[in-house]
Copies of this chain bind each other. A is one copy, B any other.
Amino acid sequence: MKNPAEKTNIDEKFALFFDYWRPKVIAELNGQEVKLVKFKGEFVWHCHAIEDELFLVWRGSFRVEFRDHIVELNQGELLVVPRGIEHRTVADEEVEVLIFEPQATRNTGDITDEQFTAPIRTKI
């Protein structure tokens, strides 16, 4: 991650990693983080007790599944998942996603999953 007064090129950052479901912090501000993540496949059901989570599709498409409905997200679209709402992300093909959420939010929220729970505050 660069110093605050240096710019960040989002495509260049996405080109630096290849793993899925492991968010990388590219900016921090006001107690929040901007993260990049690549998804492919089905994530686990979870919710975040006190954090709202914003997904913005940078490249590709995926869906956010809730228990009672599904939201399909395409490139250039964003969705806020309110705190406390159970959800999972599913991508048929690889997708590049930008996330805004509070610092140190755990990707699997209220659960711990051997496969999916990622280290927090990983910078790139």
* Identical subunits present: 2
CB proximity to B under 8 Å, residues A36-95: 51-54, 56, 66, 69, 71-74, 76-82, 85
Q: Convert A1-24 into 0s and 1s, putting 1 for each residue whose CB lies closer than 8 angstroms to a CB of B.
A: 000111111110000000000000
Q: Which of A25-33, A106-114, A115-123 contacts B (4 or more CB under 8 A)?
A: A25-33
Q: How many whole Å from A92's CB to the nearest CB in chain B?
A: 17
> Do the beta carbons of B54 and A10 come within 8 Å of each other?
no
* Contact status B78-A27, CB under 8 Å: yes
What's the Cα separation between A51 and B32 when bound, in Å? 12
A-B contact pairs, 23 of them (CB 8 A): A4-B80, A4-B81, A5-B66, A5-B80, A5-B82, A6-B79, A7-B71, A7-B79, A8-B78, A8-B79, A9-B76, A9-B77, A10-B56, A27-B80, A29-B52, A29-B53, A29-B54, A29-B100, A30-B32, A30-B52, A32-B32, A34-B100, A100-B100
